[in-house]
């Protein structure tokens, strides 16, 4: 991360704030993007002189454009763009409304896609760059029924990310798209979910936001395409699909 310019969305708390402080401590310049202006400025203060706070709603394409423009005006380039903004939902699938599904796609998919499409021309002009999309283990295994639409949105994000990676690297092999998939993280995610929900801090098998941030920082250096944030998650995903049965009907 030394000397990199890193844009982080959803940076006012949780994983985004932890990542901002970590990479800033390692020498990166950081542009922190979120809606909550006061909280965002407090994170920027903790990150030091090479941090800037950009209050913006990343579910709006024009706001993402403004965030990129302000970052370039301040630092002259962008090296890494981390799409971390997201929101959960607490509602079983048969009760989902049009608004529920639209909200999950807008926050968890469109926000990331606006970021990728905004920064990609800059990366192509430079011939290098890295987009990191923060997904979820629920984007691999739909095991939390009450998170149905959230899980679906992360599956959607994963598929788009993989296909965009294939497309872009055909012509620009030094532009990378990575997916990082945490499980439960001890943040306000559960409390802030649409319709509320269990506090993520009370759930089993959780990680701290600092642990997840450390994995994201490592991915920024390694540029690995698809990473889980703790040991055992990949095995759990493989086990889930193996348990569904044979892949060919008898």
Active site residue 150: yes
Q: For residue 58, what is the DSSP state?
A: T
Q: What does the alpha-carbon distance between residue 86 and residue 165 come to, in Å, rounded to a whole number?
A: 21
Q: Tell me the sheet residues that pair with 178.
A: 132
Of the residues 114, 146, 150, 228, only one is catalytic, namely 150
Q: Where are the alpha helices (DSSP H) in the chain?
A: 14-25, 37-47, 61-75, 98-105, 111-126, 148-171, 209-222, 233-243
Q: Tokens 């493989």: give the residue.
A: 238
Q: What does the alpha-carbon distance between residue 32 and residue 7 come to, in Å, rounded to a whole number?
A: 6
Q: Do the Cβ atoms of 193 and 88 come closer than 8 Å?
A: yes
For the annotated catalytic residues, the residue numbers are 150
């Amino acid at each position: 991360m030394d000397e990199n310019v890193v844009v982080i969305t959803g940076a006012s708390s949780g994983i985004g704030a932890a990542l901002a402080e970590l990479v800033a401590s390692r020498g990166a310049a950081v542009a922190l993007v979120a809606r909550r202006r006061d909280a965002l400025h407090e994170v920027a203060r903790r990150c030091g002189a090479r941090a800037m706070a950009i209050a913006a709603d990343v579910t709006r394409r024009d706001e993402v454009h403004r965030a990129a423009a302000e970052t370039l005006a301040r630092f002259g380039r962008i090296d890494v763009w981390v799409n971390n903004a997201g929101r959960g939902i607490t509602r079983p699938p048969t009760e989902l409304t049009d608004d529920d599904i639209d909200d999950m796609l807008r926050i968890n998919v469109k926000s990331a896609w606006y970021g990728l499409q905004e920064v990609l021309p800059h990366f192509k002009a430079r011939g290098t760059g890295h987009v990191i999309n923060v997904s979820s283990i629920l984007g691999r295994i739909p095991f939390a029924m009450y998170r149905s639409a959230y899980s679906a949105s992360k599956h959607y994000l994963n598929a788009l990310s993989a296909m965009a990676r294939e497309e872009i690297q055909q012509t620009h092999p030094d532009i990378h798209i990575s997916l990082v998939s945490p499980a439960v993280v001890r943040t306000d995610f559960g409390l802030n979910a649409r319709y509320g929900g269990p506090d993520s801090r009370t759930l089993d098998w959780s990680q701290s936001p600092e642990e997840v941030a450390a994995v994201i920082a490592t991915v920024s250096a390694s540029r690995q395409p698809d990473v889980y944030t703790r040991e055992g998650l990949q095995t759990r995903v493989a086990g889930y699909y193996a348990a569904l049965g044979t892949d060919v009907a008898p």
